Structure 1
Amino acid sequence: MFAKPNREGTMQIARTLVVDDDAGFRRRVRQFLASEPSIEVIGEAADGQEAILKARELKPDVVLMDVRMPGTNGVDATRLINDEMPRIKVIVLSLYDVDEYRQAATASGASAYVPKKSLVDELVPTIQRIWRIRRSMTFSRRESDGEMRIGRQGHQHSAHRGQPR
């Protein structure tokens, strides 16, 4: 099972924002993910502009972003979220499994691309994979920050070894 207690004993849950102009699709995704203990849907948005605002407000771990929406499309919203909030990982969803959308999603900084026709089989494993990567990068960054602090202290001590004070 993916959801495991972290060092503090709490569950590691991917807080997820669902973005699609089709309210019925958002509802179905929310219902589908409700049975997955490692994923919590914390909000929804109907277009790219609302997605950006909700991402700022809710600070999700993962955004599920439809590629084609009126107004600010998913590719542009993904680019803006990635530029402004790089810790948020975006998974682009599309009804159309075409290279053009896949390439645009990748160029915008999306972490993954899932065709809607493959959602049942691919969505949960993709969210979990992206979440594991994000968690390990955050943990590695914390470890490396700790090593840098220790290293600096150690370096200060070693710099004075054998030298008169």
Structure 2
Amino acid sequence: MRRLRVIIADDNAEFRRTLSEYLQTMDGIDIVAEAIDGKHVVELALKIKPDVVIMDISMPLLTGIESTRLIKNHYPEITVVILTLHDAAVYRQLAKEALADGFISKNAMKTGLERFIASQQFGKTYEV
């Protein structure tokens, strides 16, 4: 199992804290940064080059979809998973088009993230 360096991107500070606390209970996760908006996450990802970015869709300055596209254009090897309340087919399609590696509803966060993180740690694919 490999360790994963993770950036969390969500404009809601309380949710970032909750997600960070949850991820820290998982083996092999190092949270290397937190971003408060879409522009911030792109800057952090290009500088830090994490293994994984966990990103909300609805953020100021750039949406999670726009941020995903920019990150993947520069570093396609960075894994980006969208974690959002907007669990509609149109958002899943936009995430695919932006080359997101995963799409998880916040309503199914624990199960979805456990599966996603395990797939990344053991080199398996995760369906968007």
- The normalised TM-score by structure 2 is 0.91
Please tell me the root mean square deviation across aligned C-alpha atoms, in Å.
Answer: 1.3
TM alignment of 1:55-66, pairs within 5 A: 55-66=45-56
Q: Give CA-to-partner distance per residue, 1:130-160, whole Å, 9 cap, x none.
A: 34337xxxxxxxxxxxxxxxxxxxxxxxxxx
**Equivalent in the alignment of 1:126:** 116
Structure 1: 5+ residue stretches without partners? 4-11, 135-165
Secondary structure of 1:36's match? Answer: coil
Residues 1:95 and 2:80 are matched in the alignment: no
Secondary structure of 1:69's match? Answer: coil
Q: Give CA-to-partner distance per residue, 1:87-144, whole Å, 9 cap, x none.
A: 101001111210111110011000010000000111122122134337xxxxxxxxxx
TM alignment of 1:10-159, pairs within 5 A: 12-133=2-123
Q: CA deviation at 1:84?
A: 0.3
Q: Which has the higher helix share?
A: 1
The number of aligned residues is 124
- The normalised TM-score by structure 1 is 0.72
Bigger RCO of structures 1 and 2 (CA < 8 A, at least 6 apart): 2
Q: Which has the higher strand share?
A: 2
Provide the identity percentage. Answer: 34
Give, as a single letter, the amino acid of the residue that structure 1 aligns with 2:87. D
Aligned 8 A contact 1:65 1:91 in 2 = yes
Structure 2: 5+ residue stretches without partners? none
